Structure 1
Amino acid sequence: MKLLEPHRDVSAFLATSQGLRIADARVETGALLDVIDPSFDTLATQVAMGSAEHIDEAVSAARQALAGPWGSMTAHDRGQLLWRLADAIEANKQIFGELDAIDNGKPMHVARDVDAVYSARHFRYFAGWPSKIEGKTIPVSSPGKMNLTKVEPVGVCGLITPWNYPTLMVAWKLAPALAAGNTVVLKPAEQTPLTALYLADLALQVGFPPGVLNVVPGLGRDAGAALASHPGVDKVGFTGSTETGRRIVESSVGNLKKVSLELGGKAANILFADADLDKAGAGSFWALFGNNGQSCTAGARLFVQRSVRDQVVERLAEMAKALSVGPGMDAAAHDLGPVISRPQMDKVLGYINAGQAQGGEIVAGGGQQGETGYFVSPTVMHSVTDDMTVAREEIFGPVLCVLDFDDEDEAIARANDTDFGLAAGGWTRDLDRAMRLSSQLKAGTLWINTWGDTDAASPFGGMKQSGYGREMGEEAIALYSQTKSVWFG
C-alpha cells in the first residue's frame, strides 16, 4: 500500500488549530473535537467544538449580516459571489477531495472528481437564481385596489448536514439558502467537519461579507440541538436519520420555525425479467455499493423476478468479490473505502449477523475486512424476506439484500410496504410497466432503468418518514423563501 502525499495546503490545514468560523473570526472554545481517519482508526486532527453559547454567537453574527451588507446586496452581486465560490471550490477540488478522504474515508479520486466537482456545479446553478426570484402583480377583485407579492428570504437558516457526503450535502443546502438571500449557521456532522470549515474560509476570500456563513462543529446533542431550538433561527434544514429528524421537529416548536427534513430510506429497486440484465445488474449493484452503501437513496432492497434470480445473484456476487477496498488516500484508487466509524462498522456487522440468523444467505462478503480501520467486505445476501430486520431497517453500509418476486403487482405492493419513501425504482423494457411504476411507487425520487441520477435543477426529497421539503431546483428556492402579500389602496 502506497499512500498519497497530502497537498501542502491540506497538511497545513490539518496542522493548524481550526476554530469555529463566526463572522470573520476563528473562535477557539477550549473543547476539542477529535477527527478520526476511518481508514486507519487514527487521529487526523482536532477542531474546536462548539456549544449552545457558540451557536448563540453565530446566530447573532448571521443576524447582523442579514441586517447589514448582505441584506442590502443586489441580486446580481449575490449571484456573482455564488459563482466565485463555485470557481474556488473547483480550483481547490484536490484539497476538498483529500480532506473528505481523510475524515470520511471515501476514495480521494471520488471525493475530488465527483463530490467537489458536483458541489461547484450546484453553486453555479443557484448563482443564476437571485436575479430570477420575483413576485407577482395579482388582478384582485377589489375596485381601486392593487395587490402584489414580494418573495423574501426567510432570515437566519440553521443547516445541519450529514457525514456521508461532507462537501456535497453542504452545497445542496447552502447554495439555495444563500441564493435566496438568507444568512447561515452551519453545523456539519461531528465526524466530518473539515471541508465545511475550509469552505467558510473560501467564502470570505471570494468576498462574502462576514457573518453570512458561520460554521460551528460540535456534537448533535449540544450544538445541533441548540441550533434547532434557537429562537433567533428562522428555518432549519436537516439531513440525517429519521430519529434525529423527529427531535429536530420537536425542538423547532418554540418559535414555530420553518423546517425541511431529508431523512432515512430503505429504497426498493425492482428488477424484472424483461430488463436488459447486463445494464440492470450493474445499475442495481452500484445503486447499493455506490458511496459504500452509505446513502439514504441506496437501492438496499433489490427485488428480482424469480425466473432470473439465480443468474442475477451470481453476477452480483462476482461483482462484489471483484471490488477493490482500501484507504481513502491510497494511491491505488480503490472502489470503496471504510465505513465512517467503529460504531457504524459494528452496526453494519450486526445487521449482517442478524440477517444470517433469520435465514439470509451470504454469497459474497459477510464480515470485517482487515484488522486496521473500519472496513466491511462488500456483502450480497439473498433469500431475504420482507419480515427480516435487514429488509426493514436502514443498514447504511455495503450490504445488498436480494428478495425475489413473481409478478408486478406483488413487487409494487412489497416495495411500498415500508415506513420510508425517499427513493425507489425499477428495470424493465416494458414502457407501460415503466409508467405504472412511476405512478404507483411511493417515493420522492424514482429511477427507471437508471439509478442515483441527480441534478441541481431537479427537486429531491422524501415522502412518509423520509422527510418533507425538496432540495434543489426551483423548489429549493421556495424552501428558503417566504412570500409577502402587499395591498395598495
Structure 2
Amino acid sequence: MLTSDTLTAARDRIKTMRVTHFIDGAFVESESGCDTTDIVNPADESVLATAPRGGREEVGRAVDAARRARRRWAKTTPGERAAVLLHIADVIDANVELLAAVESLNVGKPLAAVMEEIPVASDCLRFMAGAVRTAQAPATAEYVSGHLSTIRREPVGVVGAVVPWNYPLMMAAWKIAPILAAGNTLVLKPSELTPLSMVLLAELVSDVLPEGVLNVVLGPGRVVGDALGRHPGIDMIALTGSTRAGQEVAAGASGTVKRLHLELGGKAPVVVFDDADLEAAVEAVVAAGFVNAGQECGAATRVLVHRDVHDELVERLSRAAAALIMGDPADGSSIELGPMVSGAQRARVAAMVERAIVAGAVAVAGGAVPECRGFFYPATVLTGIEAGSEMAREEVFGPVVTVETFETESEAIAKANDVVYGLAGSVWTRDHGRALRVVDQLDFGSVWTNAHLIFSSEMPWVGFSQSGYGRDNSTYALDDYTRTKHITMSMGMPADQAR
C-alpha cells in the first residue's frame, strides 16, 4: 500500500536519479545544447527534476547503438529473449511501490489507481515472454509440386517508439515487451512531461539488457519524435498519442517508407438502453470516465442514453461525479481524482467545456476551474449536447462526460458512429440479442457489453479509422513487430524421373 511516506521516499529517490538519456547501456548527457525541461508535479506545481531536451544528435547516437546491437539480439533464441523479459518483469514487481510512487508524483495519479496500473506492465512482459516461444506460421509443405515452402518470421529491425504522458510506464511496457520479444532493438521516447518512471526503469534494468537493445532519448515530440520518424536507420515507428501526432509521424516516416504502428485518440460512446442496469452503468462510467482525470483514450466520455431513462441516469451520474474526492494523491488513499498533467492541458479542457456551455450545454456537475494550487479540474457532467457539435465529436481528454439521448436502436448506432475515431465503446442492455446486433454495427476496435475499459494482456487493443492501426497486447502485437519471409526450396527431380 502506498502512503505519504512512500511518496516522500520517492521524492528523495528522484533527487538522486540521473534524469537523462539512456544510450548503449549507459546514461549520457545531451550533445544538442543546454536546453532543459522542468519535470513538474501537477498536484502542487513543484519541480521534481530537470531533464535535457534531446535532439537529432541523441537520436543518431541511439539509433547507431540499436543498429550495432540488432543482429546479435535478433540471433538470440525466443527462450533467451523470454528470460530477459521475465527478468525485467521481476524487477518491476520487486520495485512496484517505488515505480508507482514516482508515477503518482509525475502524473498526479491517485495512489490506488497507480498501484493497479504498474503490475499491468510486468504482466505484459510475462505474457510476451511466453507468447514469443509459441509463435505460429503456416505449415511447411509443397504448395507447388516439387517445391517446399516455409515461412521464416524475422524481426523488423530497429523500432522507434513514442509513448504518451497519461500511462508512461504501462504504455512503455506495451511497446518494449513485443518489440524486444520479437527480436528487434528499440529507441524509445517518453513524454517530455512524464519521463521519470521510464528513466527509473532503465536504471533498474541497466544490467539486465545487452548494450544497445533498449535506448531512451528524452525531449519534445516535435524534435525527438520527428527525428525518429525521419531517420533512415529506424525501420519502424510505433506511437501512442493523439491523432495529430500520428499524422505528423506518418508524414515524417513517409520519406523512408517506414512501417507504422499507431494507437491514437478516441471518443468512446457508452450506449445505454432503457432496460440497462443503470446502477452498474453509472458505476462503470464514473470509473472509466474519470480514471486518470479522464486522460484516457478509451475513457467512457460520451453517454448515449435512451430518452426514457435519461433523467434517472443523469441524476445518478451527476451525484456520483460530484461525490468524487479530488485532491493531491499525497493526501492519502481517499483521493479518487487527481490533477490533470499540465496547466496547458487543463486550459484546453476548460476552454472546450466553456464553448459547449455557450452553445447550450448544461454542467450538472463540475464545469469550472477550482481556485487552488495544482492543475485540478473537477469531474464534470454535461447535458444538452447537440449531435455533431465539437463536444459530441472531438476528444476531450479530461474529466468530462457528456450525455446525449436517442429513441431507437438505429439512432443510437448512428450517433455512436458519428465520430472520426474508432477506438472503443460499450453497450448496456439486458437483451443479449440487441447487444449482439449493436456490437456488430459499432465501428470500434474494442467494444464491451455491460462493462467498459476491461483489458487483458491476451487480447488486442486496436483502433479503427483515425484512432490508428496496429495492435497492442496479444500475439497480434508480435505479428506487427515481425516480418515474414517466404522461402521456397526446390526438391530437385528424382533420378528415375530425370531419365
Coarse TM-score class (shorter-chain normalised): over 0.9
State whether structure 2 residue 312 is matched by structure 1 residue 311.
yes
For the residue of structure 2 that corresponds to 1:455, the secondary structure is coil
2:350 paired residue number? 349
Rounded Cα–Cα distance in structure 2 between residues aligned with 1:463 and 1:81: 33
The 5 A counterparts of 1:164-183 are: 164-183=166-185
Which residue of 26, 47, 51 corresponds with 1:47? 51
State whether structure 2 residue 83 is matched by structure 1 residue 91.
no
Aligned in 2, Cα 1:16/1:142: closer, same or farther, shift over 3 Å?
closer
Preserved CA contact (<8 Å) 1:7 1:95: no
The 5 A counterparts of 1:65-464 are: 65-68=69-72, 70-111=73-114, 113-205=115-207, 207-464=208-465
Aligned in 2, Cα 1:419/1:122: closer, same or farther, shift over 3 Å?
same
Preserved CA contact (<8 Å) 1:100 1:108: no
AA partner of residue 428 (structure 1): T
Rounded Cα–Cα distance in structure 2 between residues aligned with 1:409 and 1:329: 47
Displacement of 1:136: 4.0
AA partner of residue 469 (structure 2): Y
AA partner of residue 150 (structure 2): L
AA partner of residue 35 (structure 2): A
For the residue of structure 2 that corresponds to 1:336, the secondary structure is coil
Displacement of 1:10: 4.9
**Please, which runs of 5 or more residues in structure 2 have no aligned partner?**
491-499
Aligned in 2, Cα 1:10/1:84: closer, same or farther, shift over 3 Å?
farther
Preserved CA contact (<8 Å) 1:38 1:339: yes
Preserved CA contact (<8 Å) 1:349 1:367: yes
Preserved CA contact (<8 Å) 2:68 2:212: yes
Preserved CA contact (<8 Å) 2:295 2:397: yes
Rounded Cα–Cα distance in structure 2 between residues aligned with 1:8 and 1:267: 38
AA partner of residue 257 (structure 1): K
1:470 paired residue number? 471
Displacement of 1:217: 1.1
Displacement of 1:31: 3.0
AA partner of residue 53 (structure 2): M
RMSD (Å) for aligned C-alpha atoms: 1.5
Displacement of 1:387: 2.7
Which residue of 60, 63, 67 corresponds with 2:67? 63
Tell me how many residue pairs correspond in the alignment.
485
Displacement of 1:106: 0.8
For the residue of structure 2 that corresponds to 1:286, the secondary structure is helix
Displacement of 1:71: 2.6
Preserved CA contact (<8 Å) 1:356 1:362: yes
Q: More deviation in 37-46 or 10-19?
A: 10-19
C-alpha distance after superposition, 1:248-285 (max 9, x if no partner): 11111122111011111111111111011111121122
AA partner of residue 391 (structure 2): V
For the residue of structure 2 that corresponds to 1:204, the secondary structure is coil
Alignment TM-score, normalising by the size of structure 1:
0.96
Displacement of 1:121: 0.8
C-alpha distance after superposition, 1:179-231 (max 9, x if no partner): 111110000111100111112122223x2101111001101111110011111
Provide the identity percentage. 38
Rounded Cα–Cα distance in structure 2 between residues aligned with 1:306 and 1:372: 40
Alignment TM-score, normalising by the size of structure 2:
0.94
Preserved CA contact (<8 Å) 1:241 1:264: yes
AA partner of residue 97 (structure 1): A
C-alpha distance after superposition, 1:117-176 (max 9, x if no partner): 111111111111232235444433433221111001111010100001111111111111
Preserved CA contact (<8 Å) 2:14 2:49: no
AA partner of residue 83 (structure 1): L
**Please, which runs of 5 or more residues in structure 1 have no aligned partner?**
none
Preserved CA contact (<8 Å) 1:134 1:151: no
For the residue of structure 2 that corresponds to 1:282, the secondary structure is helix
AA partner of residue 40 (structure 1): D
1:480 paired residue number? 481
The 5 A counterparts of 1:28-43 are: 28-29=29-30, 30-43=34-47
Rounded Cα–Cα distance in structure 2 between residues aligned with 1:258 and 1:84: 29
